[in-house]
Homo-oligomer: A and B are copies of this chain.
Amino acid sequence: MTGVSLPRKELFDIPEGVIYLDGNSLGVLPKGAVERAASVIQNEWGGQLIKAWNTAGWMALPQIVGNKIADLIGAPAGSVATGDTLSIKVYQALAAALKMRPDRRVILSDKGNFPSDLYMAQGLIDTIDKGYELQTPAPEDVAAAITKDVAVVMLTQVDYRSGRMHDMQAITKAAHAAGAVMIWDLAHSAGAVPVDMAASNAEFAVGCSYKYLNGGPGAPAFIYVRPDVVEGIKPALSGWLGHDAPFAMELTYRPAMSTERMRVGTPPILQLAVLEQALYAWDGVEMADLRAASIALSEKFIHEVETRCPQLTLASPRDPNVRGSQVSFEFENGYAAMQALIERGVIGDFRAPNIMRFGFTPLYLDEKDVVAAAEIIEDVIGNDIWRDPKYNIVSRVT
């Protein structure tokens, strides 16, 4: 089967005059989301009340959504559980991984990792309080740091600032060769680059669904567990919906016999329903096609911006094979410049201290958007528009 052609802009509701290059932070609104939410609220919650857990299929929704995400990351059905936030899923994966290597004391990550992943590791280390150590070398030094002291290697595949991409296969292989467990954070991978969890052989992956998957603000997170290890895991966050028989109300926890044991509490039905709706946009999309489109857009963008704006320095890898679906530039006045761009409809984001970040989402972006964005960047930078003091008022940056 050949995939559908990209982009599929007709599936999304994007404001007139906006070129949205921030789908790596919060994806756009899929059509049908409002109607789906309204139906869940009015017809299911309002009309069926408590019965809706069965009659409207709420009980099954986390698994349905998990299986759709599994499809997008090369994971088998039943191996992905949804719910909670990405930080919670990081904690679960880390706690499980440490139990799998009880004689080792090092958690290896890198200093390019998203801070919350590192914070969650720090919190777990403090909670266990048995001399665990979090190591965060530079990303390019991670492979060399995988020693036989390392219990778990925990990395975000695509760097949130630069877009630099770790080699999932090679690092997982190195981790396993050293006897370590591997956790991948797919926050900037799922829906952005082809991921083959099964082929990677990594034990765990975690991710969020509000970026490239367009699940909406605060959409639930997910966790993948390699099927052959799941039954050995005693979840740290052992909530009732990860119990083998949640409604038996037993006094002792017994984990479910699948990745469902990584579920915790009552699932956020409204967010899950909207996320499920958003995932329809992926029907028929071949990840290879998406990747080809992503690279074409990114390469075009780099070419256009570098040609027009010598003031900007590429902060992402030049080689598209080691770059995710975003492009970052360094610019000393990046904060002000980004505010000026946003005012002109080119929405990217800024990451301290000096990174202007642009995400490429081939589901709803085409080459015309990229060229138009580059023209506006040229105007803002080349004509010093960013110097207007109004762009330097720092509000809370998301």
Q: Is the CB of A22 within 8 A of B46?
A: no
Residues from chain B with Cβ under 8 Å of A88 in the complex: 84, 88, 237, 239, 264-265
- Do A49 and B34 touch across chains, with their CB atoms under 8 A apart? no
Report yes or no: A115 in contact with B251, Cβ–Cβ below 8 A.
yes
Q: A95 touches which one: B127, B136, B220, B274 (CB < 8 A)?
A: B127
A53 interfacial by beta-carbon distance below 8 Å: yes
CB-CB < 8 A to A351: which residues of B?
249
Which residues does A use to contact B, with CB under 8 Å?
A: 13, 15, 18, 20, 22, 25-26, 28-29, 33-34, 37-38, 41-42, 45-47, 49-54, 58-59, 83-88, 91, 95, 111, 114-116, 118-120, 122-124, 126-130, 136, 208, 210, 216-221, 234-240, 243, 247-253, 264-272, 274, 342, 347, 349, 351-352, 395-398
Residue of B nearest to A210 (CB): B266
Q: How far is the CB of A297 from chain B (nearest CB, A)?
A: 18
Contacting residue for A127 out of B15, B127, B248, CB 8 A: B127
Contact B395 A54 (CB under 8 A): yes
Whether the Cβ atoms of B136 and A251 lie closer than 8 Å is yes
> Are A239 and B120 interface neighbours, CB within 8 A?
yes
Contact B116 A236 (CB under 8 A): no
Chain B nearest CB, measured from A12 CB (Å): 9
Residue pairs across A and B with Cβ atoms less than 8 A apart, 17 shown, are A13-B46, A15-B47, A28-B49, A29-B41, A37-B270, A53-B396, A59-B396, A86-B265, A88-B88, A88-B264, A119-B239, A120-B237, A122-B252, A123-B238, A216-B269, A217-B269, A218-B270
Q: Which listed residue, B22, B120, B271, B342, touches A268 by the CB 8 Å rule?
A: B271
Instruction: Specify which chain B residues have a CB less than 8 angstroms from the CB of A349 in the assembled complex.
Output: 50
In chain B, what residue has the closest Cβ to A126? B234
When C-beta atoms are compared, the residue in chain B nearest to A253 turns out to be B119
Query: A267 with B218: in contact, given A15-B47, A41-B37, A240-B115 (CB under 8 Å)?
Result: yes
* Interface residue from B115, B236, B250, B270 paired with A115 (Cβ < 8 Å): B250
Q: Which of B130, B235, B265, B274 contacts A116 (CB 8 A)?
A: B265
Question: Which of A26, A29, A83 is most buried by chain B, counting CB atoms within 10 A of its CB?
Answer: A26
Given contacts A87-B237, A127-B236, A239-B116, contact A347 B271 (CB under 8 A): no
- When A and B form their complex, which 6 residue pairs have the shortest distance between CB atoms, in order from nearest? A85-B265, A123-B238, A116-B240, A29-B46, A218-B268, A87-B239
Bound form: Cα–Cα A220–B116 in Å: 20
